[in-house]
Structure 1
Amino acid sequence: MDSTAVRTLAGQIRLMGFDVDGVMTDGTIWFGPDGDLMKGFNTLDGHGLKMLAGAGVEIVIISGRSSAAVRHRAANLGITTALLGVENKRDAMRELAAERGIALEHCGYMGDDIVDLPVMRACGFSAAPANAHFFVLQHARWIAEADGGRGAVREVCEYLLDARGALDALLQDCLR
């Protein structure tokens, strides 16, 4: 698909889903001395998610791993739908889209590993961080220059905002 067609799809996204490990984080998982799971999140990515939500795109998290850290991060960002411990992300996205009356071609998903491919291929728009698995990179419609947890989420948010014609106004508002 050519870049113009991908940009057109991107401009029509109403619901954007994100994986966590390898997308919103760099994929590293830390365990504390008591077995507490910890993850590191990028603040620039977080602001991108807030800007995208502010432009009317619903943000959802669909992750195969369940984590209190992700629940806290989602709440911190105002993301009300965080589906964690999901085995079939494609079915979860289909259910979300149906509940909201949104066609799958107006949904997007950013993933990094082969388990994300079914949901990525079901959506109208798909994205991957630069360091995604090679097979995911072959199938993503759009690829960030940054790695997961290192700005890839911010890049896709700004790409979607730009495709909607909303990025320039947001940036100009920062100068007032």
Structure 2
Amino acid sequence: MIRSLDDPEFAARARDVEILGIDFDGVMTDNKVYVFEDGREAVVCSRLEGYGLRAAAATGVYCFIMSTEENPVVTARAKKLKIDCQQNIPDKVEAFTKVLEERGLSFAQAAFIGNDTNDKGVLEKVHLPISVSDAHEVLDTIETFRTKRLGGNGAVREACDAIAQARSGIKG
């Protein structure tokens, strides 16, 4: 079942969120990669995301990137945004569980933004599963709250702003 971020259930769940995991490729990027002759890669990210991440963090939400691949561009973007990142994660459920345990949190306090098959398991476990509007159809079979914006084009900002707005009444 796909729901909108405008759904009242989104706000109800967002109030419980203490941690937000974010996939990188296809969520923070437009899912395209530029490959240069020497093998270097480049991606396009939206500058909109920074304000949304700061808004969510201001309400007490810990935000971090979790990527299946390992790429210096992920590290550089996370550093620029001043958020943590985990890379080379073959099992996102296992890795997310470890982060929750380290922070004394549970999946009932967690949100995740994903777009593809490797995000499905963690999206099925978190309290607030979010997918970008151009997510792969494999995610259509599970419950997610879908952004209006495309991955890499402000989807993270949209989700973070909605979380911050829902939580501002309890943290503001």
Q: TM-score by structure 1 length?
A: 0.88
The answer on whether the counterparts of 1:63 and 1:83 sit within 8 Å (CA) in structure 2 is yes
Residues 123-138 of structure 1 aligned to structure 2 (within 5 Å): 123-138=126-141
Match of 2:23 in 1: 19
CA offset at residue 142 of structure 1?
0.9
Partners in 2 of 1:102 and 1:21 — Cα distance?
Answer: 26
Residues 74-153 of structure 1 aligned to structure 2 (within 5 Å): 74-79=78-83, 81-153=84-156
- Which of 144, 156, 164 is the matching residue for 1:161? 164
Match of 2:48 in 1: 44
- SS where residue 153 of structure 2 aligns? coil
Partners in 2 of 1:114 and 1:71 — Cα distance?
Answer: 22
Partners in 1 of 2:9 and 2:166 — Cα distance?
Answer: 11
The answer on whether the counterparts of 1:130 and 1:145 sit within 8 Å (CA) in structure 2 is yes
Partners in 2 of 1:143 and 1:16 — Cα distance?
Answer: 15
Partners in 2 of 1:85 and 1:109 — Cα distance?
Answer: 17
Higher relative contact order (CA 8 A, sep 6+): 2
- Which of 77, 80, 84 is the matching residue for 1:73? 77
CA offset at residue 33 of structure 1?
2.7
Q: Deviations over 1:138-176 (max 9, x none)?
A: 42431100110011111100110111126xx7xxxxxxx
CA offset at residue 123 of structure 1?
0.8
Match of 1:9 in 2: 13
- Residue identity in the other structure for 1:165: S
Q: Which structure 1 segments of 5+ residues have no match? A: 170-176
Query: Comparing 90-99 with 39-48, which one deviates more in the overlay?
Result: 39-48
Q: Which structure 2 segments of 5+ residues have no match? A: none
Partners in 1 of 2:131 and 2:163 — Cα distance?
Answer: 13
Q: CA RMSD in A?
A: 1.7
Match of 1:174 in 2: none
The answer on whether the counterparts of 1:114 and 1:135 sit within 8 Å (CA) in structure 2 is yes
- Residue identity in the other structure for 2:45: F
- SS where residue 82 of structure 1 aligns? strand
Partners in 1 of 2:143 and 2:85 — Cα distance?
Answer: 22
Q: Deviations over 1:77-115 (max 9, x none)?
A: 111x21111000011000000110011110111000022
Q: TM-score by structure 2 length?
A: 0.90
- SS where residue 48 of structure 2 aligns? helix
- SS where residue 65 of structure 2 aligns? strand
